[in-house]
Amino acid sequence: MKRPENTRIHILNGPNLNLLGKREPEIYGARTLADIEADSIALGRDLGLDVALFQSNHEGGIVDQIHDARDVAAGIIINPAAYTHTSIAILDALSMFDGPVIEVHISQVHKRETFRHHSYVSLRADAVIAGCGTHGYTLALHHMAQLLNDA
Ligand code: CA2
């Protein structure tokens, strides 16, 4: 298997995900964002990926993080949280990123309110994972490794 030259992956998380593990565990699970960060960095090491995790409660903050990724990252894994359903700005920023983009939702958004069924980000995402809990980040990293190795 050919190894990618750039192995840096940015995992971006939108509003309120800093409270993961602290509220509504029945929907979002018990793991905190710090747990997900530690798990992702460790798995990244096994997969040959250099993983960094970011979170912002602000739409512009996420746009800035996508712009920063343009310069350094080979791929983006993003859970835009509520901005998934509203943000053309995040969609436009992702469209300016050249590498693979994987959209992750912890909950099964299609089983929830209808306003969660539409995603602007899905218009750019190369893959979408929803309803696998925080394990979705693990699945996304495995798929990202495959996409970069196949490129
Ligand atoms: O299922 C997902 O991952 C979502 O992106 C989560 C968003 C929601 O607006 C999307 O429709 C689906 C909400 C994130 C809220 O984060 C919380 C974290 C801890 C406790 C409560 C909410």
pLDDT at 1 over 60: no
pLDDT in tens, 65-120: 999 999 999 999 999 999 999 999 999 999 999 999 999 999 999 999 999 999 99
Q: Is 109 in the pocket of ligand 1 (CB under 6 A)?
A: yes
Arithmetic mean of pLDDT, 15-43? 94
At residue 2 the predicted structure's pLDDT band, cuts being 50, 70 and 90, is low
User: What atom of ligand 1 comes closest to residue 80's alpha carbon?
Assistant: 5
Residue 8 vs residues 11, 89, 142: alpha-carbon distances, Å = 10, 24, 14
87 lines ligand 1 (CB under 6 A): no
Number of Cβ within a 10 Å radius of residue 99: 20
Q: Which of 10, 83, 105, 137 is catalytic?
A: 105
Q: Is 75 left (phi over 0), alpha (psi -120 to 50) or beta?
A: beta
Q: What is the rounded CA–CA span in Å between residue 3 and residue 79?
A: 26
Q: Which residues pair with 75 in a beta bridge?
A: 9
Taking CA atoms only, the protein residue closest to ligand 1 atom 20 is 23
In this predicted structure, the answer to whether residue 58 has a pLDDT above a threshold of 60 is yes
pTM: 0.97
Distance of CA 65 to the CA centre of its chain: 12
Residue 145 — very low, low, confident or very high, per pLDDT cuts 50/70/90? very high
Q: Does residue 28 carry a catalytic annotation?
A: yes
Does 137 participate in catalysis according to the annotation? no
If one residue of 22, 31, 59, 79 were mutated to test the ligand 1 pocket, choosing by the most ligand atoms within 8 A of its CB, it would be: 79
